[in-house]
Amino acid sequence: MDHKGRIGTRKALKTSLRLVLLLVALVLLIGQSAPPLGADSITEKKEQARQVEQQLNSLQSELNRLTSELNQTQSRLATLQANIEANQAQLQAAEAEYDRWQGILSERLVAMYKEGNVAAIDVLLECDDFDTFINSYDYMSRIGNHDAETIVATQNLMAEIRTRRAELENSKAEYQAYSNSLQSQRSSIQSKLNEQKALLAGIDAEVASLLSSRYGGGGGGGGWNIGPVNGLYFPVAGPHSYTNDWGAPRAVGRSHKGCDIMADYGTPVVAITGGNVVQRSGGNAGLYVFLYGDNGHLYYYMHLQDYGASGRVSGGEIIGYVGDTGNARGCPHLHFEWHPGGGGAVNPYPLLVAIDG
């Protein structure tokens, strides 16, 4: 190689070396401007997650308390309704019997007048109404022992009617008070659910990933699934609350055969396990689905706002959305039933708690 060639080679090497050094400097510069998450940042994120979880737990405790009060109010309303209906029926029967005895006594009074006993008529004319007349001492002393049984029966009926009317009015007033309280409790529950949703939506993905599985564990609070726990997913994939309301009194003398999971309108409802979903509608259940689980059990999801997937589904797949259809108007929730082996319903509360943690 001649002298010029050697000079050219050296220049090329120098140029290459400068390029390499420049690239190294750029890498170092980029590394300095965007350092990996250090120990301090991790600690800060963990503290943020701890504070968020503390707030969420506090809201959840309040939600559980409100839901428990709501269930107690619903049970009290059902009991009051049954009492009112029974009292009304008994009052109607007592009033009908009273009218019958009043007719008998009126006929007896006419007979007495025809027999020349005008004293009873004089007493009647002095009274403002039949109730006063039947309780008149003068009438009692004139009518004689022959009609004493009739008089006592009529007086007892009058007393029973007064008592039942008073009880009925008190029950109706109490029912109205509990009904007003029910509306307030429903609003409070929705407010707390919305607070949870807003809190979860306001955190970043790194903080969300540090939360416990109870709150979905990631992604700004949307579309969480709790589970699988022993292969099962919690039926409501979003903020929720529930209590052990199995067997609680319900209208028309019924008892509750499931568990009501309170959640906001449109919250996703997911398959607790893989299986086959059949969609149905009608009656008190509104929009509902049956899930025939691969594990041999049958699950009911009621009061849906809308359906999700049907037919063959996987565990955790969305099969509906929380609503208030059927007899749940104004109170969005999922009525969830568990029928082991496809038989009669059993209390699903222990199962839900085991999944929900």
Q: Specify whether 230 is located in the same domain as 210.
A: no
Q: Specify whether 333 is located in the same domain as 258.
A: yes
At which of 191, 220, 249 does a domain end? Answer: 220
Q: Specify whether 47 is located in the same domain as 143.
A: yes
Q: Specify whether 153 is located in the same domain as 49.
A: yes
Strand partners, 320: 269, 307
Taking each helix axis as running N to C, give the angle between helix 39-114 and helix 119-126, from 0 to 180 degrees, rounded to the nearest 10.
140
DSSP 235: S
Backbone angles phi, psi at 338, to 5 degrees: -125, 120
Q: Specify whether 61 is located in the same domain as 203.
A: yes
- Those residues whose C-beta lies under 8 Å from the C-beta of residue 204, and which sit 6 or more positions away, are 220
Round to whole Å and give the CA distance between 349 and 248: 13
pLDDT in tens, the chain (357 residues): 554 455 455 555 455 555 545 554 544 444 444 445 555 688 888 898 899 989 999 999 999 999 999 999 999 988 888 888 888 888 888 888 878 877 776 776 666 666 666 555 555 555 656 666 656 545 555 555 556 677 777 778 888 888 989 998 999 999 899 888 988 999 999 999 999 989 888 888 888 888 877 776 544 344 478 889 999 999 999 999 999 999 998 877 788 999 999 999 999 999 999 999 999 999 999 999 999 999 999 999 999 999 999 999 999 999 999 999 999 999 999 999 999 999 999 999 999 999 997
What is the reported pTM? 0.71
CA nearest 70: which of 179, 196, 195, 176? 179
- Those residues whose C-beta lies under 8 Å from the C-beta of residue 75, and which sit 6 or more positions away, are 245, 248, 249, 250
Round to whole Å and give the CA distance between 259 and 147: 59
Specify if 278 maps to a domain: yes
Range of the domain at 144: 43-220
DSSP 226: -
Q: Specify whether 206 is located in the same domain as 234.
A: no
Strand partners, 241: 262
Round to whole Å and give the CA distance between 84 and 81: 5
Q: Specify whether 150 is located in the same domain as 272.
A: no
CATH number (domain holding residue 106):
1.10.287
Q: Specify whether 324 is located in the same domain as 338.
A: yes
Specify if 24 maps to a domain: no
Instruction: Please give the full DSSP string across 295-309, using - where no structure is assigned.
Output: TS-EEEEEEEEEE--
Q: Specify whether 316 is located in the same domain as 183.
A: no
CA nearest 222: which of 177, 267, 165? 267
Specify if 2 maps to a domain: no
Please state the domain count of the chain: 2
Torsion (CA) 123, 124, 126, 131 in degrees, nearest 10: 110
